[in-house]
Structure 1
């Protein structure tokens, strides 16, 4: 399963032009950011949606908890960003994707968001925190629940052994990878053809 990633550093005029033309509200939003990096991430996300979900702003609607979908399309997508990267995952079923940079400050909330067995596995390692946190987020996003579904309500450790989990009535498959010090996780609501293939991260410029 591919996840496409784009750096804010790689945003050029052609990306800005596409955002301005096909995502006018996102473009206006990008102009309101005080941070140039945040503005470029907004543009990068628009470019990824346009290129890989084959959608424009006018095609995108939102369910509860701001989960995006494309009206009258068999394609599902999800985007995420952290620090200098934006990512997108596109699939034929509900999908969630999350990216997070490994940072020590994140460890302070481990007790609030992880189960005891998950905390033991993390063992105060920032890289392991990011792995489990992005898996949690990808599940919440795939289900369209956001934080209405508490992170401690489900265990993501089976994913690390290439096993599925069931949340409510939905069976889920998820995978994780590391890219440039960032954890990237992807969750699917339909069993993939090759369920052990993991994630291929593709850099877009």
Structure 2
């Protein structure tokens, strides 16, 4: 099962709770966050890594501080020394989201908002642009962001960044299930859905699914981090 947790960066928490999240992040991530000018960007950086460490530690039994994150040459994150646990992060608007699985995974989250369809004409496959034009005007933004998140999640699943152009493959959304046409490997599981607040979420994974999507309160994560830390000290 693909596990997906997301948290709201606008949730009000105390300074001590924020420090607890910061404390389980790597030194590099803390330095990266400090360089952002705006608080929401700092929160996305810290909350994303803290959420990933929390989820992975819960799955593997390792201490959150033991986990060493690294990136491949195209920027896809992985856990050094762990061959059977994979994760991927995304953020948009008020949410930070993390997907976790025992095989390769890519996820993308986007807040649906008004956008010029010209971006699809310029960057998407021609078949996808034709599909967008076939939708009723009030349906086009929803369809655009469904395609956008599917394409981003697939590129993140492959782990090749923008080395693979967005028009080099296409998704067909007109059948009973999503179809991907690509010369690269095809994930066993592809799904798009809408989460709280009208955000589009897409997942590409090598495991056959299904997915479990769950929103977590930041305060609950901090509380659990405290309990785990106490148990670790008592061992």
TMscore range, shorter length: 0.7 to 0.9
**Number of corresponding residues:** 200
Q: Please, what TM-score do these two structures have when normalized by structure 2?
A: 0.76
Which ranges of 4 or more aligned residues in structure 1 deviate by more than 4 Å? 55-58
* Distance in structure 1 (CA, Å) of the matches to 2:174 and 2:107: 14
* Distance in structure 1 (CA, Å) of the matches to 2:24 and 2:101: 25
Moved more, 103-112 or 52-61: 52-61
Could you say what secondary structure the match of 1:136 adopts?
Answer: helix
How far off is 1:44 after superposition? 1.3
Alignment check: 8 A CA contact 2:25 2:50 kept: no
- The question of 1:67 aligning with 2:82 is answered no
List gaps (5 residues or longer) in structure 2: 58-63, 218-235
Matches within 5 A, 1:3-18: 3-10=4-11, 12=13, 13-18=16-21
Aligned to 2:215: 203
* Distance in structure 1 (CA, Å) of the matches to 2:118 and 2:161: 21
* Distance in structure 1 (CA, Å) of the matches to 2:68 and 2:12: 23
* Distance in structure 1 (CA, Å) of the matches to 2:42 and 2:212: 26
How far off is 1:11 after superposition? 6.3
Alignment check: 8 A CA contact 1:78 1:90 kept: yes
* Distance in structure 1 (CA, Å) of the matches to 2:161 and 2:102: 21
- Of residues 191, 195, 203, the one that matches 1:175 is 191
**CA-atom RMSD in angstroms:** 2.3
How far off is 1:66 after superposition? 0.7
Could you say what secondary structure the match of 2:115 adopts?
Answer: helix
Larger Rg: 2
* Distance in structure 2 (CA, Å) of the matches to 1:11 and 1:67: 30
How far off is 1:26 after superposition? 1.3
Aligned to 1:27: 30
* Distance in structure 2 (CA, Å) of the matches to 1:141 and 1:159: 23
Q: Please, what TM-score do these two structures have when normalized by structure 1?
A: 0.86
* Distance in structure 2 (CA, Å) of the matches to 1:57 and 1:33: 26
List gaps (5 residues or longer) in structure 1: none
- The question of 1:131 aligning with 2:146 is answered yes
Aligned to 1:84: 94
How far off is 1:38 after superposition? 1.1
* Distance in structure 1 (CA, Å) of the matches to 2:175 and 2:152: 15
